[in-house]
Amino acid sequence: MIIEFIFRWAHVLFGITWIGFLYYFNFVQTEYFKEAEADAKADAIKKLAPRALWWFRWGAMFTFITGLYLLYAIGAHNDLTGQPLIWVGALAGILMFLNVWLIIWPKQQVVLGLKEGDGPASAAKAGLASRTNTLFSGPMLFGMLGSKHLYIDVSPAAIYVALAIIVALEVNALFGKTGPMTSVKGVIHSSIALTIVMWAALAFIP
């Protein structure tokens, strides 16, 4: 019990670090870069962005590791239907973690000049993955909190529909476009709307 509590505490702490930087990148830094003078932007890319990305990616790593332990500890890995909401949060979180380490960080290394590649194309791919992670943050938190504090009588069909929606949006992160997530207001509204859709699907699909 004490070990599980420590992991829950650490999971939330690392998650705050990770998602805090995710929101910083999407709501603050990206918008600043659109307006910054060339010299100021170059200085931020050289000195600020690498530091922020370090905390961002390692916050994601340790959120993921502690989350895996908690899934094991509560036995959710053995029962998809018994704790459906935690799986909504877990799938969104796992895909967000993979986006960080397999898309955002590798592409940002090109943008920062740490390795060779197509800078504009890499920035676009990293941006789409980052916007998708912001989109997922609402349903992810809904699944985490709902598993303990919200009772919904969820059918197996509803679970699979909810998980399929998340997977479809991840496919868009890999091969699609930002669409309404291009603006800060758009991605915030999209995340709230997605959370509502997920809630409705889980509550009403028989």
Q: What is d(CA 44, CA 38) in angstroms, rounded to the nearest whole number?
A: 10
- Contact assessment for residue 29 and residue 52, using Cβ atoms and an 8 Å cutoff: yes
In the predicted structure, residue 1 carries a pLDDT above the cut 90: no
What mean pLDDT comes out for the span 123-138?
Answer: 98
What mean pLDDT comes out for the span 117-140?
Answer: 97
Specify the range with the lowest mean pLDDT, choosing from 64-78, 91-105, 133-147, 157-171.
Answer: 64-78
What is the CB neighbour count within 10 angstroms for residue 56?
24
- Please report the pLDDT score of residue 76 as a whole number: 63
What mean pLDDT comes out for the span 24-31?
Answer: 97
- Entry pTM: 0.95
- Please report the pLDDT score of residue 78 as a whole number: 60
- Contact assessment for residue 83 and residue 76, using Cβ atoms and an 8 Å cutoff: yes
What mean pLDDT comes out for the span 148-176?
Answer: 94
pLDDT, tens digit (0-9, with 9 covering 90-100), for 72-126: 888 765 666 667 899 999 999 999 999 999 999 999 999 999 999 999 999 999 9
Question: 55: closest CA among 24, 27, 32?
Answer: 24
In the predicted structure, residue 199 carries a pLDDT above the cut 80: yes
Q: Which residues have CB under 8 Å from 105's CB, separation 6+?
A: 53, 57
**What does the mean pLDDT of the chain come to?**
94
What mean pLDDT comes out for the span 161-184?
Answer: 97
Q: What is d(CA 125, CA 113) in angstroms, rounded to the nearest whole number?
A: 16
- Please report the pLDDT score of residue 74 as a whole number: 80
